């Protein structure tokens, strides 16, 4: 292949959302494998027993992979931890291993705690202390900008004082734990992007925590709720640029963007 490395690397950067293509390219030649490695491990999915994603890792398998190719943790920018509620009894065992993996990533920009089913997975009741502590430690990464929470009762107070985080998203079926009166020294996030979808009764969330964090909001994705929208516009109408509303129409959920 006569393409310069920089050109080939640029082309491969467009394949980050397509791991199957990157793996096929890697398998074609050992040189290709080294070139594609940075893009192949840009986003990593680690599951807790079963996965809906083809190219995800069981925790112990990922540890083995890192022992053989330790450089891959330096390529990771997006880490997705996939929870499966049908394996609640086994999940703590997997999460203990994942807790030992989390400190390996020095340059994460995004963490997604993803619940692929509709059952409430509770932050304190279902997740072991070691895993919760490891997630809290990751919030200190200076590179971290985005976090997605699909866990019920996630304590929102954990996000404060981490001013590098400016993109937050929450998904149901439960809702985050709304903190009590903040400490006088608390430094609130100033979110650039907020997404709240399928969260049960989100009004207290917006009346409390969100009101202090969206004065500079530029992008909002939310299930349509006229009461909440009025409150939001009163806070961030001067800065909001992108609005994506989801609502039910003819028994289907549709999206309307502006």
Q: How far apart are CA 117 and CA 107, in angstroms?
A: 29
Whole-structure pTM value:
0.86
CB 196 within 8 A of CB 176: no
From 118-122, 148-152, 195-199, the region with the lowest mean pLDDT: 118-122
pLDDT single digits (tens) 121-172: 889 888 999 999 999 999 999 999 999 998 888 988 899 899 999 999 988 7
- Residue 14, classified by CB atoms within 10 Å of its CB into exposed (0-12), middle (13-18) or buried (19+), is exposed
Q: How far apart are CA 100 and CA 104, in angstroms?
A: 8
pLDDT at 1 exceeding the cut of 70: no
**Residue environment code for 63-96, b if the CB has 16+ CB neighbours within 10 A, otherwise e:** beebeeeeebbebbbbbbbbbbeeebeebeebbe
From 2-11, 106-115, 246-255, the region with the lowest mean pLDDT: 246-255
**What's the average model confidence in pLDDT over 100-120?**
89
Instruction: Give residue 10's pLDDT.
Output: 77
Domain ranges of the chain: 1-40, 42-257
178 confidence band (pLDDT: 50, 70, 90): confident
CB 169 within 8 A of CB 217: no
pLDDT at 2 exceeding the cut of 80: no
Instruction: Specify the 3-state DSSP secondary structure of 65.
Output: helix
CB 110 within 8 A of CB 146: yes
Length of the chain, please? Answer: 258
Q: Which is higher by pLDDT, 179 or 235? A: 235
Cα–Cα–Cα angle for 63, 65, 70, rounded to 5 degrees: 90
Q: How far apart are CA 174 and CA 151, in angstroms?
A: 7
pLDDT single digits (tens) 207-233: 677 778 888 999 988 877 777 777 788
Residue 30, Cβ neighbours under 10 Å: how many?
9
pLDDT single digits (tens) 46-103: 998 777 777 889 999 999 999 999 999 999 999 999 987 656 778 889 999 999 999 9
118 confidence band (pLDDT: 50, 70, 90): low
């Amino acid at each position: 292949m006569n393409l310069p490395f920089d050109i080939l690397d640029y082309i491969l950067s467009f394949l980050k959302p397509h791991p199957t293509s990157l793996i096929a390219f890697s398998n074609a030649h050992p040189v290709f494998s080294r070139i594609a490695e940075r893009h192949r491990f840009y986003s990593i999915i680690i599951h807790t027993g079963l996965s809906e994603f083809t190219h995800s890792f069981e925790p112990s398998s990922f540890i083995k992979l890192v022992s053989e190719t330790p450089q891959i943790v330096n390529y990771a920018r997006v880490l997705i931890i996939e929870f499966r509620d049908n394996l609640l009894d086994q999940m703590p065992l997997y999460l203990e291993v994942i807790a030992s993996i989390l400190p390996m990533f020095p340059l994460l920009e995004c963490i997604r705690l993803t619940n692929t089913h509709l059952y409430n997975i509770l932050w304190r009741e279902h997740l072991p202390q070691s895993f919760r502590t490891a997630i809290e430690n990751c919030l200190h990464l200076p590179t971290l900008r985005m976090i997605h929470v699909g866990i019920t009762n996630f304590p929102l107070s954990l996000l404060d004082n981490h001013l590098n985080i400016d993109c937050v998203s929450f998904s149901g079926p439960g809702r985050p734990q709304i903190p009590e009166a903040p400490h006088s020294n608390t430094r609130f996030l100033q979110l650039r992007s907020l997404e709240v979808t399928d969260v049960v009764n989100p009004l207290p969330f917006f009346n409390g925590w969100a009101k202090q964090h969206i004065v500079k909001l530029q992008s909002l994705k939310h299930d349509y709720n006229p009461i909440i929208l009025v409150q939001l516009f009163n806070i961030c109408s001067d800065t909001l640029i992108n609005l994506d509303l989801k609502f039910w129409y003819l028994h289907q959920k549709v999206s309307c963007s502006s």
